[in-house]
Structures are given as C-alpha cells and as structure tokens.
Amino acid sequence: MRAKPKMAIMISGTGSNMEAIISSCRNGSLDAEPVIVISDNPSAPGVKKAASRGIATFSAPYGKGVPREENEAPIIDAIRRADADWIVLAGYMKILTPSFVRAFPGRIVNIHPALLPSFPGAHAIADALEANADITGVTIHMVDELVDHGPIIAQEEVAIMPGDTEDSLGARIHAVEHRLYPRALQELFHEDV
C-alpha cells in the first residue's frame, strides 16, 4: 500500500460523511487522498459539494431494467481510472453486486446508521424507532457479498431518548458518524504502521 492511500468515495445524497472525510484529509487527521466522488444520483447535493472542494466527480445514474452489473461497469472503470486503492461508501444507497465486490476484494468500506447486525437496510433509523429500541448506533464495516454485512471495524452506541424522532435521532447518529468514520479509516489504512 502506498504511503497516502487514494479513496473513491461513493454517495447518493447529502454527502455529510463525505465532507467529514474530506475535511479530515485536509486537516491531516486522515492520511489519505480523496481522488474521486462517485454518485448514482447526478443531482445529489454531495456531488456539488465535492466539486466545490476541487474533487473530481463522476455520476452514473442506473438505467431502469438494466442489469445491475451493466450499471456498475462505468463505476468500476471510473474507480480504476482514478487509481483508487479504497472504495469508501458514504451513504451510497444502491446495493453493490457480488461481481463489483469481487472486483475490489477487501477494499470496500461502508458506514451504516445502526449497530449491525441489527437494523440492516435503507431505513435503519426509522426501523430502530419503530422497534422501540433503547440503543442504536453506528457501524463501520468491510463490505462482503451480503447486504450491510462483513467484518466490523468500528461501532459506537447512540442512546434512543423518549420522544426521539427520525430527525433528532438522525442528528445524533450523524454527529457520531462524522467523528467515527475518518478515525476508523485512518486505523484501517495505516493499521500496520
């Protein structure tokens, strides 16, 4: 692994975790370089934010009825062209195919807003509230061929308060995510240093 690993960051929406990661690279607490930001949604706010921070962006909207492998092919090309060492999923809401995962073995990381294996899927915060859980949290994990699954790198609990809404709980989860993700990536990228 080279001294300053190169990251492809994949997003679908706001991109607040992407911003936390970029800021950590710029302030030196994460020794890595964001080389490209990829989105399945060209109008995701995170795409503009990445461009305004001078990072190359690549949008790959998925065609309806098109096999997922075909939708992913230009993304795989973009990652290879950018020469990225790591793929960092930061709110990427499409499920990656096993063939995508196999193209980058042991090199894809994800963040999930719950304590996996609890509340996998796209609505983890709502699902934790719906289940009347006392505790939820944040998980950072390596991506394997199953959904929201793979070796866990870091987890942190977030308590659910009486009267919490998706907004109030989501804000506390995001605050944890923004601190935990850059730190977990630094440890992952430089664990043998």
Residues lying near ligand GAR in the complex (CB under 6 A): 11, 13-17, 46, 90-91, 111-113, 122, 124, 148, 174, 177
As measured in angstroms, the least distance from the Cβ of 116 to ligand GAR is 9
φ, ψ of residue 37 in degrees (nearest 5)? -115, 125
As measured in angstroms, the least distance from the Cβ of 192 to ligand GAR is 27
Choose the catalytic residue: 112, 141, 174, 178.
112
As measured in angstroms, the least distance from the Cβ of 1 to ligand GAR is 25
Q: What ranges make up the beta strands (E) of the chain?
A: 6-11, 33-39, 57-59, 86-89, 108-112, 135-142, 152-159
- Nearer to ligand GAR by Cβ, of 16 and 65: the residue is 16
Please name which of 122, 123, 118, 133 lies closest in space to residue 164, comparing C-alpha atoms: 133
- Nearer to ligand GAR by Cβ, of 35 and 111: the residue is 111
As measured in angstroms, the least distance from the Cβ of 31 to ligand GAR is 21
Contact (Cβ atoms closer than 8 angstroms) between residue 11 and residue 44: yes
- Nearer to ligand GAR by Cβ, of 71 and 172: the residue is 172
Rounded Cα gap, residues 183 and 3, in angstroms: 17
123 is catalytic: no
- Nearer to ligand GAR by Cβ, of 112 and 172: the residue is 112
Rounded Cα gap, residues 124 and 139, in angstroms: 11
Active site residues: 112
